[in-house]
Amino acid sequence: MREHSDIVIAGGGPVGTTLALLLADSDFSIQVLEARADLSRPAHRRTLALSYGSRLILERLGVWTGLSEVTPITTIHISQRGGLGMAWLRAEEEKLPALGYVLDYAELDAALHARLRDSNVSIVTGARVDEVRAASGYATMKVNRGSDITPVTARLAVVADGGDGSAQRISRDYDQHALIATVTAELAHNGCAYERFTSDGPAALLPQGDGFALVWTASPAQVQALLALPDAEFLEALHQHFGDRVGRFLNVAQRASFPLGLRYAARATRPHTVMIGNAAQMLHPVAGQGFNLGLRDAWELAARIRTSTRVALGSAAMLADYSSARRLDTRGGIFFTDFLVRVFSNDNSLLHHGRSIGLAALQMLPPVKRFVARRMIFGVRG
């Protein structure tokens, strides 16, 4: 582990690794510090919903073609339980091969690290960054490796692991948990993802392989009860909740859950320090925006670093330029997901009718539908 680098990235997950690869051919010295001790072991398997815009970033890194377990999303069906309004987003309407893709986090993580090992970037495993502070002209970090605490400095410290507790954060507890699982159904998905809003919270079925990845949002007590059900009873409950669009559900596997909330940094930059990905914002999974927002963080930050001199790395002017470039996209993603959760996750009768009208209007007004689709795919620059 080097005691000083031009850029130190705290966190070797997909967002931090993407940033490192985007800068791998630059003249800056770059060091990635990753808390996991062994990157040759597969990461925890979980489903990612990747936008077409994120695919373009991974293609730029030469990673996309190495991914094998990828399922395209060519259609998104949006509906409300008990309401007549619905909307369809289609890739062909956007003149794209897909709106997005469903893939496994572990496979993406492994592909990015394989690429990183072939680069000039230094990666140190078993290194947890416990503290980041500003000094005169650089940032200083306390790095924990086993029983050793090592000070490390950088012109620019990039916090990409979500663990920087010194940042002031704004948070909201939705009092919801997400139940995740893989399910199969009678009918083929044909590349269609379903987003269904209910008074308990949104439920999503994402096409994955021959079946679906399920994200079922409900209260913590409801989710615990669903986890405890035998498979047959769970599948029947899912059918009652979701409806008949994919026929009856046949099998379920890998049920798990996690709490949901909104958490974001009041300021994503401090002197010689910037937070990206989950360190900057953690969103509700509705509409699948969080991970894609993090990849766009990495893309925009890399663009600002590439035009910076070594002396200007982490300067107030450079970080202000980055913050300005990300402000609309970040705030838009936070507002969009928070709006969907707060407006759709209730049984208010007036809002129920308003939501039905809104979904019908979205379907009937192509310019509005295109606006929504492009921003889900590409962010604010869509």
**What's residue 382's pLDDT?**
67
Of 53, 52, 50, 68, whose CA–CA distance to 14 is shortest? 50
**Spacing of C-alpha 262 from chain mean position:** 13
With a cut of 70, say whether residue 167 has pLDDT above it: no
Cβ contact 69:210 at 8 Å: no
pLDDT range class, residue 85, cuts 50, 70, 90: confident
Distance (Å, whole) CA 163 – CA 167: 9
Of 260, 183, 188, 182, whose CA–CA distance to 223 is shortest? 260
Cα angle 256, 260, 263; round to 5: 140
Q: How far is CA 339 from CA 79, 282, 322, 331, in A?
A: 16, 15, 26, 12
Count of CB atoms situated within 10 Å of the CB of 170: 11
pLDDT one-digit tens code per residue, 265-305:
999 999 999 999 999 999 999 988 999 999 999 999 999 99
**What's residue 349's pLDDT?**
72
**What's residue 173's pLDDT?**
93
pLDDT range class, residue 249, cuts 50, 70, 90: very high
**What's residue 348's pLDDT?**
77
For the chain, give every domain's residue range: 4-70+105-169+262-343
DSSP state of 273: E
Cβ contact 175:219 at 8 Å: yes
With a cut of 80, say whether residue 137 has pLDDT above it: yes
Poorest-pLDDT segment among 34-43, 164-173, 280-289, 309-318: 164-173
* pLDDT average, residue stretch 221-235: 98
With a cut of 80, say whether residue 353 has pLDDT above it: no
With a cut of 80, say whether residue 350 has pLDDT above it: no
**What's residue 40's pLDDT?**
79
With a cut of 80, say whether residue 168 has pLDDT above it: no
With a cut of 80, say whether residue 164 has pLDDT above it: no
Output the CA torsion sign for 226, 229, 231, 236.
Answer: negative
With a cut of 80, say whether residue 83 has pLDDT above it: no
pLDDT range class, residue 166, cuts 50, 70, 90: low
Q: How many helices (H) and strands (E) does the chain have?
A: 9, 19
- Strand ranges, E, within the chain: 4-10, 30-34, 47-51, 71-73, 75-80, 86-90, 100-104, 122-125, 128-135, 138-145, 148-159, 169-185, 192-198, 201-208, 211-218, 249-265, 269-270, 273-275, 281-282
**What's residue 354's pLDDT?**
82
With a cut of 90, say whether residue 161 has pLDDT above it: no
Of 279, 40, 2, whose CA–CA distance to 120 is shortest? 2
Cβ contact 102:382 at 8 Å: no
Instruction: Work out the percent of the chain whose per-residue pLDDT is above 70.
Output: 98
pLDDT range class, residue 327, cuts 50, 70, 90: very high
Distance (Å, whole) CA 160 – CA 203: 28
* pLDDT average, residue stretch 224-241: 97
**Mean pLDDT rounded to a whole number for the chain:** 93
**What's residue 380's pLDDT?**
80
Of 203, 198, 237, whose CA–CA distance to 217 is shortest? 203
With a cut of 80, say whether residue 99 has pLDDT above it: yes
* pLDDT average, residue stretch 147-175: 84
With a cut of 70, say whether residue 165 has pLDDT above it: no
The pair of structure tokens assigned to 189 is: 């998905």
**Which one of 3.50.50.60, 1.10.260.40, 3.30.1330.60, 3.40.605.10 gives the CATH number of domain 4-70+105-169+262-343?**
3.50.50.60
Distance (Å, whole) CA 371 – CA 341: 20
Kind of pairing between the strands at 128-135 and 138-145: antiparallel
Is 301 exposed, middle or buried, given 0-12, 13-18 or 19+ CB atoms closer than 10 A? buried
pTM of the model: 0.94
**Spacing of C-alpha 131 from chain mean position:** 24
Residue type, 331: R
Count of CB atoms situated within 10 Å of the CB of 56: 14
The pair of structure tokens assigned to 113 is: 């690290």
H/E run at residue 341? helix 316-344
